[in-house]
Amino acid sequence: MTTLFTSYQLGGLTLPNRVVMAPMTRVRAAAGGLATPSMAAYYAQRATAGLIVSEGVQPSVIGQSNPGTPGLHTDEQVAAWRPVTAAVHTNGGRIFAQIMHGGRVSHPETIGEQPVGPSAVPAVGHVFTPTGPQPAPMPRALDIAEVPEHARSYARAASRAVDAGFDGVELHGANGYLISQFLSSNANLRTDRYGGPVVNRIRFAVEAVAATVEAVGADRTGIRLSPGGTFWGVEESDVPELYAALLTELAQLGLAYIHIEATTDEEVLIPLRKAWPGTLVMNPVLPLGPKQTGRDDADHWLGLGADLISFGRAFIANPDLVLRLRGQLPLAPVDEATYYQGGDSGYLTYSAHAYAA
């Protein structure tokens, strides 16, 4: 019988369990987008996860969304990540880097220029900047000649990730960031080959994934998706058709996995599981919604055919989450005020269960 604690073969990696640490922005990088010793300790503490997916890592300066996030576009950044991946491996873990291009979800104060997107349509809400939250600015619509370069930026970052010791990469195709913006029917108003009908709106995602597969191999490449999600004001028309078409194209590339968020009804998600021939990582509850993923949610989706289950917030306060889930031990609460404040408080200060107060 398959359980959350059954091993799983993911490409060339043998995962000791089916618990995935989901990518979570923690804004603890040093100046220049450099990973730090604290980040090495943070991920190493959570190495009992079957797989760790890192926080979103920008593939370029213009791809940065938030201040304080790490990059993978300079030699210095690669060198800074090596102690992080080494610490995870020393503790017996496996780690993928999530490659995240923010697109329109950024600000000139953060990146030094106007953010870009598929169209000149601003995100909804306030974005983080070095001087505090500000309304999302108007992005510059990418010229058609620029679009392939941004697709290839994921592949270049993926190559650097492998050089830095990551076991693979996950492209962030969810939550209103650049790939998601191209999939959207209201953030993407283009009338060229990248906009309009479904076959065009999926093109950027497919090109980014294909370039990454060519750069580092299919068994080292995954993608995260949020079907029907409305983060940062994106909307998607014809969600079942859009994602069925996207998964059909991605299936031909032989990816390590797709990572789907529960951003729409199961009536939509279950057919996507059936349509996808490979590994499915399922994030069973709405990210940043009122509920955190628990054991029951994980078991429910394993029963629906998911192969791996990702946990987000539960991993922040519970570095030994796998042990707690296995023993049905209580989960420590997370201090939301420390999500993005920087420093080690609320980052390295959560104890394993044996030492909990």
Phi, psi of 53, rounded to the nearest 5 degrees = -110, 125
Tokens of 309: 């289950």
Count CA atoms within 13 Å of residue 197 on its CB side: 3
Residue 8: active-site member: no
* Tokens 């279950």, located at residue: 270
Q: How many CB atoms lie within 10 A of CB 316?
A: 25
Length of the chain: 357
> Residues 42, 154, 177, 347: which is the catalytic one?
177
> Which of the residues are catalytic?
177
